[in-house]
Amino acid sequence: MLYELLYGLHDYFSPFNVFRYITFRTTLAALTALMVTFIIAPHFIRWLKRISMTQQIRDDGPTTHLSKAGTPTMGGIIILIAITVSMLMWGNFRNAYIWVMMISLLGFGAIGFADDYLKSVKRNPKGMKALYKFGAQMALALIISIFLYANPADPYTTVLSVPFFKKWLFDLGLFYIPFSIFVIVGSSNAVNLTDGIDGLAVGLVAIATLASGALTYLSGHAQFARYLQVIYLPGTGELTVFCGALIGAALGFLWYNAYPAEVFMGDVGSLGLGGALGTLAVITKHEIVLAVVGGIFVIETISVILQVVSFKLTGNRVFKMAPIHHHFELKGWSEPKVIVRFWIIGIILALFSLATLKLR
């Protein structure tokens, strides 16, 4: 809204012309989300404690986690508020992609909120029935995918691009819809699984969004897209502003979620952020690149699948505990060491994903 007002005044005050630039608004969006997080987080954390919205710690996890009992959870609401306020100020809501991203972020966040509410308020350790939770995620991803599939503005809607192989463009046709659902729901749950030690998930989301934001800006910019020979997607460049808001909110939340965490984001945060990252990848045609940028999320998910399948088939565990961050905790790595080393790998994967732009 502020963007519309200020840019609309550029006829009378020419410096306001700067508000048309995505890079300028992305910076403002990041700083605004960061500031909003710093303003509301202390009060929100105190409120969560006051209403005993605290985490139940499972007794079958690493013993070091037992001391986390009583940590406030559902802090992801702070992230969603910060991003929403920032986007209302600096986002261009005449762009349909902005609406899709906000519906994805808040829709998956609402599903996570319902699960957290049942666990933390109703004291139901199982939370939402897995079938209902997964069904709700699939339904939301289906709505998003059908909207994008039917999107008349995007000539490449059903085309899958492959990193390094510029000429490889697969038109998925109607299969685009189940593929997109897989990417969006998979991404949402991968972040959810990863959010098991202090700051790990939100730090990796900030790193992945920084790289995805750069890719989004370039593929939404006609000249850059042509030079780098990536698919040019008119209108998607505006999503860079959303990435800025997300990074700002994630870094702000990390200030409080860093070890030892004062607050956990809850499923409201992890499902919302993961759903948004997956939706961004589908809109910008960087689905496979997302698997590289978010490589730790993929590794965490694969570790769970391997563990559960191995345990069910043979009764033996592949890891000391899944997801894999717990495996290293049980190997004796301190929690901060696991977190920082996973972040380092996340940064390396993000840099590698940016290299795919040139290595084609």
Residue 291 interacting with ligand 57M (CB under 6 A): no
Check binding of 238 to ligand 57M (CB under 6 A). Answer: no
Question: Which of 157, 154, 128 has the alpha carbon at shortest distance from 268?
Answer: 128
Phi first, then psi, for residue 46 (nearest 5°) are -60, -40
Please list every residue from 40 through 69 that binds ligand 57M, using CB under 6 A.
55, 57-58, 60-61, 65, 68
236 binds ligand 57M (CB under 6 A): no
How far CA 146 is from CA of 46, 109, 137, 143, in Å, comes to 41, 20, 14, 5
Per CB under 6 A, the segment of 24-32, 150-158, 195-203, 240-248 that binds ligand 57M is: 195-203
Number of residues that bind ligand 57M (CB under 6 A): 30
Q: Please report how close the Cβ of residue 354 comes to ligand 57M at its closest, in angstroms.
A: 27
Take residue 292 and report the two structure tokens written for it: 């590289």
- Rounded to whole angstroms, the Cα distance separating 178 from 203 reads 29
Q: Assess 11 for contact with ligand 57M (CB under 6 A).
A: no
Residues 239 and 284: their CA atoms lie apart, in Å, by 9
Instruction: Kindly tell me which of 120 and 284 has the beta carbon lying closer to ligand 57M.
Output: 120
253-267 burial by CB neighbour count: b if 16+ within 10 A, else e? bbebbeeebbbbbbb
Q: What is the secondary structure of 76-116 as a DSSP string?
A: HHHHHHHHHHHHHHH--TTSHHHHHHHHHHHHHHHHHHHHH
Interface positions, 149-168, toward ligand 57M (CB under 6 A): none
Is residue 193 within the footprint of ligand 57M (CB under 6 A)?
Answer: yes
C-beta of 18 vs 306, nearer to ligand 57M: 306
142 lies in the binding site for ligand 57M (CB under 6 A):
no
Stretch touching ligand 57M by CB under 6 A, among 6-14, 81-89, 134-142, 192-200: 192-200
> Which residue, 30 or 193, has its beta carbon nearer to ligand 57M?
193
Q: State the Rg of the chain over Cα.
A: 20
Minimum Å gap between C-beta 129 and ligand 57M is 14
Identify the residue among 266, 272, 274, 294 touching ligand 57M (CB under 6 A). 266
CA 279-284-290 angle, to 5 degrees, is 65
Q: Which residues pair with 171 in a beta bridge?
A: 159
Using DSSP's 3-state secondary structure scheme, residue 358 falls into coil
Q: Is 264 in the site for ligand 57M (CB under 6 A)?
A: yes
Nearest distance from C-beta of residue 79 to ligand 57M, angstroms? 11
Report the SS3 class of residue 129: coil
Report yes or no: 45 and 263 within 8 Å, Cβ to Cβ.
yes
| Contacting range for ligand 57M; rule: CB under 6 A; set: 207-215, 238-246, 302-310, 341-349 | 302-310
Strand partners for 54 = 72
Count of H-run helices and E-run strands, the chain: 14, 2
Exactly one of 86, 104, 187, 192 binds ligand 57M (CB under 6 A); that residue is: 192
Q: Which parts of this chain interact with ligand 57M (CB under 6 A)?
A: 55, 57-58, 60-61, 65, 68, 73, 192-193, 195-198, 257, 261, 264-267, 270, 304, 307-308, 311, 317, 321-323, 326
